[in-house]
Chain A
């Protein structure tokens, strides 16, 4: 089975306020269609790792492969393009553009990618919203919907360009148990129906135990995977 993500000998230091070795020689792989979760205590470096994997943080040592292609050391412009095309990201705090409508929020990454026509993008976006049962919110302002709805809009946005991998930084951390379960079911459905690869950082043991694989981190090292 082919690999979606591979990290080789990742090292990361925080230089301020004092020199601190956050990630120590990390190696791991995520296969295509795998639903993996990263767990660990606060400060264990799991979010830091996720941001390196997302290509947003480039200040590290080691090598990162996406779809078996080296992305480490590529220029920022190209990394933006890779993020746009291959990586969907869901944050703990929804992070929608509050001045735009729900539909516009979902369409934005596809417009940036600029492969499909405007009407195709709009159709795709509506399809994603329908899949997540929030198509009735399409025309509403992003600031006027509830927290659970916002997180589902953010998932729709992450999926609009049909990415290779969906990353989540505590996507259920800010939600009540009903909405958290809802998000988990959506993720599971995506994996099962579309074969999407998922990598989720979480505190929620209940959530993690139901994923395919748990990567356990402690003090900047992977202790169990």
Chain B
């Protein structure tokens, strides 16, 4: 019964003869959707970048031996004071090693687990960097460099040199960028380090490491695991940390609990380590969506107003259409299709404007000391945002069009015709 050709023909004529209001209404939608796309692409791009900044350097599960006092002090074993309230002053940490016991079997066990993408051993050593008579305190981290490349994007933070250069040089070092600045060293130079026990070892700088976090870059350097073991004079099974990367990050918490009990070791999962970080991300997302939805609602009100005005202007036309045999539904569809055409046109144009603005922002230079790998503002081109954008454009114009068109549907032609 519904004759779409006639209805769309009338809708088109209305839109074309009222070109100015059509364009104004469409631009309202275009502005709303364009701003939404730009904002959400930019904000989520920034969020992802900031997340990566911290999360890339945080393993999903971190295993190490905590230096802590034993939970049961010797007095608890003494039967005579079994029922007494024992107070022990100045408790000392338990005498134990920094290394992980049975590190190699644990590593093998983890690598065989189907949920684990990879597990890398690390050896952290306190050392001094020697520059003439000056001693700078710091850390030297021994890693399996190629595994780190596979699992933690370390190569993004090596601003000079390459991970392969470290792998190929038994006495190479990736020096922290802050340290390199302080000591005026660059790739190819030699640096001397000394252990806490006093031995002095020369290492060759094969690369500069810059994480973007100054506190790390000022003290930390990377070298091969074996190099650190040799410097400390320890055996090949001497490992202080194991970093685990999983395929599914949501399994980190239960797995870390299990490992803690299974190996009697300290295990920290990523959520525990970065709880406050997650909160920040969530709040930024919330703000993004609040602003976007506000923009879209404002655009929706614009359409509502213009259609309302149009319907008052066209009261006589509505009456005549009804008198000549168009039903209320036909009239409603005429105005609904106008709203939907405005929404679709404005929405598609908005996606285009949003995309172009995103491209523009994407090409604006953004260089900061803290982020060595970033040269322009980050943009997240997720197709989902475009789908959400056009859906919201159509939905809001549908609602904005439905209310006035429903009024048009119920116009009593007799009242209009007699009213003149």
Complex interface: chain B residues within 8 A of A54 (CB):
323
Segment at the interface with A among B138-146, B216-224, B410-418: B410-418
* Bound-complex Cα distance A108 to B14 (A): 14
B328 interfacial contact with A, CB 8 Å: yes
B73 interfacial contact with A, CB 8 Å: no
Complex interface: chain A residues within 8 A of B418 (CB):
47, 51
The bracket for how many chain A residues form the interface is 20 to 34
A111 to B327, Cβ gap below 8 A? no
* Bound-complex Cα distance A95 to B322 (A): 12
B3 to A57, Cβ gap below 8 A? no
Query: Given A56-B413, A99-B14, do A77 and B320 touch, yes or no (CB 8 Å)?
Result: no
A80 to B414, Cβ gap below 8 A? no
B5 to A80, Cβ gap below 8 A? no
Query: Given A76-B328, A95-B316, A100-B13, do A112 and B3 touch, yes or no (CB 8 Å)?
Result: yes
Identity of the chain B residue whose Cβ is nearest the Cβ of A81 in the assembled complex: B325
B320 to A56, Cβ gap below 8 A? no
Q: Chain A 98-125 against B: per-residue CB contact (8 Å), 1 yes, 0 no? A: 1110000000110111100000000000
B322 to A77, Cβ gap below 8 A? no
Query: Given A83-B323, A89-B324, do A112 and B6 touch, yes or no (CB 8 Å)?
Result: yes
* Bound-complex Cα distance A178 to B414 (A): 29
B414 to A112, Cβ gap below 8 A? no
B319 interfacial contact with A, CB 8 Å: yes
Contact residues of B between 1 and 25, Cβ < 8 Å to A: 1, 3, 5-6, 9-10, 13-14, 17
A76 to B317, Cβ gap below 8 A? no
Complex interface: chain B residues within 8 A of A56 (CB):
322-323, 413-414
Contact residues of A between 68 and 108, Cβ < 8 Å to B: 76-77, 80-81, 83-85, 89, 91-93, 95-100, 108
Contact residues of A between 170 and 211, Cβ < 8 Å to B: none
A112 to B330, Cβ gap below 8 A? yes
Query: Given A76-B327, A84-B325, A95-B319, do A108 and B417 touch, yes or no (CB 8 Å)?
Result: no
* Bound-complex Cα distance A202 to B327 (A): 28
Give chain B nearest CB distance to A153 CB in angstroms: 12
A83 to B6, Cβ gap below 8 A? no
B329 interfacial contact with A, CB 8 Å: yes
Q: Chain A 9-26 against B: per-residue CB contact (8 Å), 1 yes, 0 no? A: 000000000000000000
Query: Given A56-B414, A95-B320, A108-B6, do A80 and B13 touch, yes or no (CB 8 Å)?
Result: no
Identity of the chain A residue whose Cβ is nearest the Cβ of B9 in the assembled complex: A111
A89 to B323, Cβ gap below 8 A? yes
* Bound-complex Cα distance A111 to B14 (A): 17
Complex interface: chain A residues within 8 A of B328 (CB):
76, 80
B325 to A113, Cβ gap below 8 A? yes
Complex interface: chain B residues within 8 A of A84 (CB):
324-326
Q: Chain A 46-59 against B: per-residue CB contact (8 Å), 1 yes, 0 no? A: 01000100101100
Contact residues of B between 368 and 408, Cβ < 8 Å to A: none
A169 interfacial contact with B, CB 8 Å: yes
B96 interfacial contact with A, CB 8 Å: no
A150 interfacial contact with B, CB 8 Å: no
* Bound-complex Cα distance A112 to B10 (A): 11
* Bound-complex Cα distance A114 to B418 (A): 29
Residue of B5, B9, B10, B329 contacting most chain A CB atoms (<10 Å):
B10
A80 to B325, Cβ gap below 8 A? yes
Complex interface: chain A residues within 8 A of B6 (CB):
108, 111-112, 114
A80 to B320, Cβ gap below 8 A? no
A157 interfacial contact with B, CB 8 Å: yes
* Bound-complex Cα distance A114 to B6 (A): 9
User: Which residue of B1, B320, B330 is within 8 Å of A97 (Cβ)?
Assistant: B320
Task: Give me 15 A-to-B residue pairs in the complex whose CB atoms sit less than 8 angstroms apart, sorted by A's number.
Answer: A56-B413, A57-B414, A80-B322, A80-B327, A80-B330, A81-B325, A81-B327, A83-B324, A84-B325, A91-B417, A97-B321, A108-B10, A109-B325, A112-B6, A161-B325
Could you tell me which A residues sit within 8 Å of B by CB distance? 47, 51, 54, 56-57, 76-77, 80-81, 83-85, 89, 91-93, 95-100, 108-109, 111-114, 157, 161, 169
Could you tell me which B residues sit within 8 Å of A by CB distance? 1, 3, 5-6, 9-10, 13-14, 17, 316-317, 319-330, 413-414, 417-418, 420
Given contacts A77-B329, A80-B328, list 10 more A-B pairs with CB under 8 A: A47-B418, A56-B413, A76-B328, A83-B323, A98-B317, A99-B13, A108-B10, A114-B6, A157-B324, A161-B325
Q: Which 10 A-B pairs have the closest CB atoms?
A: A84-B325, A80-B327, A99-B17, A109-B324, A111-B6, A83-B325, A95-B320, A51-B414, A57-B414, A114-B3
